[in-house]
């Protein structure tokens, strides 16, 4: 049984999740704003896949996660490890790619 901290059940919420997935192509350079105000920027190394999960209360629904890697050149003093982020935590996606620079999904 796969567990997620939050699942979406309503069609409108699942459509909003689908819109986030569409912005997160493999290789996209993005900045993500999280629900706690944190910002994570990096390269999408694994496009999110919407899957069925159970939340901690046992409700079945949909969620997805994205893997973002920090390029070593941006932070040479840090280990550029991957970040796995649940999409329910993402409140804003800002594309940093040259062709998409400044494009924001709320």
pLDDT at 82: 85
pLDDT tens for 8-57 read: 999 999 999 999 999 999 999 999 999 999 999 999 998 999 999 999 99
pLDDT at 97: 85
> pLDDT at position 32, please?
96
What does the alpha-carbon distance between residue 7 and residue 10 come to, in Å, rounded to a whole number? Answer: 10
List, for residues 48-86, the tens digit of each pLDDT value: 999 999 999 999 999 999 999 987 665 556 655 688 999
pTM exceeding 0.75: yes
- Vertex 11: Cα angle to 7 and 15 (nearest 5): 85
SS3 category, 91: strand
Ordered by where they begin, the domains of the chain are: 11-105 (2.30.30.720)
Residue (of 83, 76, 103, 4) closest to 38 by Cα position: 83
pLDDT for 46 equals 87
Please report the pLDDT score of residue 79 as a whole number. Answer: 54
What's the sign of the alpha-carbon dihedral 2, 41, 80, 26? positive
Integer-rounded Cα Rg, in Å, for the chain is 14
Q: Which helix (H) or strand (E) holds 4?
A: none
């Amino acid at each position: 049984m796969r567990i997620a901290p939050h699942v979406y059940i309503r069609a409108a919420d699942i459509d909003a999740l689908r819109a986030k997935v569409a912005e997160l192509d493999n290789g996209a350079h993005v900045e993500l704003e999280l629900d706690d105000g944190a910002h994570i920027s990096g390269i999408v190394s694994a496009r999110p896949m919407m899957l069925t999960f159970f939340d901690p209360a046992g409700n079945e629904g949909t969620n997805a996660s994205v893997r973002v890697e920090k390029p070593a050149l941006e932070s040479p003093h840090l280990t550029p490890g991957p970040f796995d982020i649940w999409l329910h935590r993402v409140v804003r996606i800002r594309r940093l790619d040259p062709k998409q620079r400044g494009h924001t999904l709320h």
